[in-house]
Chains A and B, each alone.
Chain A
Amino acid sequence: DVKVTQSSRYLVKRTGEKVFLECVQDMDHENMFWYRQDPGLGLRLIYFSYDVKMKEKGDIPEGYSVSREKKERFSLILESASTNQTSMYLCASSPGFSNHYEQYFGPGTRLTVT
C-alpha cells in the first residue's frame, strides 16, 4: 500500500512565524504535490515537484515556497505565516510514468494561524 505521511495533523502558529510542513511518501514516486483545501473552494494546487530539486508553481503559490532535497520528502514552507493561510494542507504523490495519474494523499495538516 502506498503511504503518504504528513508531519502534523494539527498545528497552531502565530502571525509572522516561519512554518514548515513535511510530507514523506514511501513508494518511490517521482511527482509530489501540495494543496490547500478551503470550504467551497475545493483543493487548490500550491506547488508540485516532478523530481528531486525540481519544482513548479501551481495555481496559488504566493506566500509559499517548497523544498525537495530527497525523492521521498517534499516540504512546504510559509516564510511568514498570515491568518489567511489558515487552512487544511494536503500532500499527494503519484508515479512519474503512469497511465492513470492517480494521486495518493496524506491525512492532511490543519494549520491555524492566529
Chain B
Amino acid sequence: EDKVVQSPLSLVVHEGDTVTLNCSYEVTNFRSLLWYKQEKKAPTFLFMLTSSGIEKKSGRLSSILDKKELFSILNITATQTGDSAIYLCAGNAGGTSYGKLTFGQGTILTVHP
C-alpha cells in the first residue's frame, strides 16, 4: 500500500521566519512528487518533482526531491501571513494508475504578524 507521511503536522511561526516542511513517501512505481497549497478553498498546485537533487523554485518557495532517501522538502523563506495554509504533498505512481495520487496528512502552517 502506498504511503506518504508529512511532518510536522502543524507549525506556528512569525512573519519573516524560514520554514521547512517534510514529506517522506513509499509509492510503488514512483513517478513524481507534487506539492499543493490549500487555503480555505481548492488545493492549488505548487511544484512537481521528478528528479533527485534538482531544486524547483517559485519566489520564496523552493522544493527538492531525494529519490534515494524517498523524501522531499518544501522551504518557505521570509514567511508572510498569506503563506498561512495547509501544505499537501502527494506521490504519483506510474504504470496504469491513471495519475492516481497518494496524499500525506498535510502540514498546517500558521504565520503570525
Contact = CB atoms under 8 A, between A and B. Distances in A.
Contacts, number: 61
Interface residues of B, number: 25
A101 B105 contact: no
Contact of A94 (B4, B42, B99, B102): B99
Interface of A: 4, 30-31, 33, 35, 40-45, 48, 50, 56, 58, 90, 94, 96, 98, 100-108
25 contacts: A4-B42, A31-B98, A33-B101, A41-B105, A42-B6, A42-B88, A42-B103, A43-B43, A43-B103, A43-B106, A44-B103, A45-B101, A48-B98, A50-B98, A101-B31, A101-B32, A101-B34, A101-B48, A101-B99, A102-B45, A103-B99, A105-B36, A105-B42, A105-B44, A108-B41
Given A100-B48, A102-B48, A108-B41, 20 more contacts: A31-B99, A40-B105, A41-B105, A42-B6, A42-B103, A42-B104, A43-B43, A43-B90, A43-B103, A43-B106, A45-B100, A50-B98, A94-B99, A101-B99, A101-B101, A102-B45, A103-B45, A103-B101, A104-B45, A106-B42
